[in-house]
Copies of this chain bind each other. A is one copy, B any other.
Amino acid sequence: MSKNIRNIAVLTSGGDAPGMNAAIRAVVRACSFYKIDCTGVYRGYQGLLDGDFENLDARSVRNVINKGGTFLKSSRCEDFRKPEGRKLAYDNLKSAGVDALIVIGGNGTFTGAQLLIDEYNFPVVGIPATIDNDINGTDYTLGYDTALNTVVEAIDKIRDTASSHNRLFLIEVMGRDAGDIALNSGVGAGAEEIMIPEESDSLNKLMKSLKISREKGKTSSIIVVAEGDKSGKNVFELADHINDDLDDYDYDIRVSVLGHIQRGGKPSCFDRVLASKLGVGAVEAILNGTYNVMIGVERKKVVQISLKDAIEPRHEFDQELRRVADITSV
């Protein structure tokens, strides 16, 4: 174990995700277990610039494991993008006696951290937390599993009313660059069609599928649309397009944008366990002298990937599940 680490700081940044509090808790408890100090940084990188720090001990994180959001709060920080902002952040960390920093967030958060590494060689470890699940080097990001449950519960409710009224519902879910939420929640909710940003011909496929459904006499349908869908239409335009194109059918089309409920809520057990593993893994990586990595999970094991690689755009998506979606929606 590295003898030089006596104080680890932790911050959350970017869009909040359920499980962030559980990850902070695990970081704090692991510091406590290994008898080192833990410094909480409020409001992400902004708090680094403002020196908005607080010492956290095991009691500081009682009763947070099951809370959504992040008690350290998050924010966008324009000033951290400037060299003088990062200088200030570095100086604040040093003068607070912080030896290493754990950042909890997504792609933007890690990109910021990488600058701190590149410019000041400050030891940083990342924990992937974003409901979008769009990070390399981990099977799952924090918050993703909870968001999926929130989405399927919402669609289950909408299906009640869709079935009662023979309606077609277009449901927009989050995922600007990654269709993971749409694809998984769509399969989970038994959606008739799913539109994801990774596919370019989604509109044609949708129209074909709707025509077949109508011919079969299907009277209600759920279509799940990722907000980043590449059809060139937002979900309201899509509703108009369907109405125009299928006007010989008597469709009653409704739109539902699930929005920010997807970011909140009590974390699922999966996310709480994942957060606990990643938080402990991050502290232990630092204590073992492994810096500038992201802690991820493969199967149930904690793994490490360089932050640089974690930041790279992710290109794969779950093609097998796409195929399953088509088969089970017959």
Interface residues of A (CB under 8 A from B): 12, 15-16, 18, 20, 25-26, 29-30, 32-33, 58, 63, 65-70, 73-75, 139, 145, 148-154, 156-166, 169, 184-185, 187-190, 254-257, 259-261, 263-266, 268-270, 272-273, 276-277, 279-280, 298-302, 318, 320-321, 323-325, 327-330
Contacts and interface: CB of A to CB of B under 8 A. Distances in A.
A327 B29 contact: yes
Contacts of A269: 145, 148-149, 151-152, 184-185, 188-189
B328 A280 contact: yes
Q: How many copies does the complex hold?
A: 4
A327 B280 contact: yes
12 contacts: A26-B327, A30-B328, A67-B160, A68-B161, A73-B166, A158-B260, A160-B264, A161-B263, A188-B273, A189-B272, A254-B260, A277-B320
A328 B187 contact: no
Nearest to A20: B164
B276 A328 contact: yes
A256 B259 contact: yes
Given A187-B276, A265-B157, A272-B188, A70 B164 contact: yes
5 pairs of A and B residues whose beta carbons are closest in the complex: A157-B264, A68-B160, A160-B264, A69-B160, A148-B269
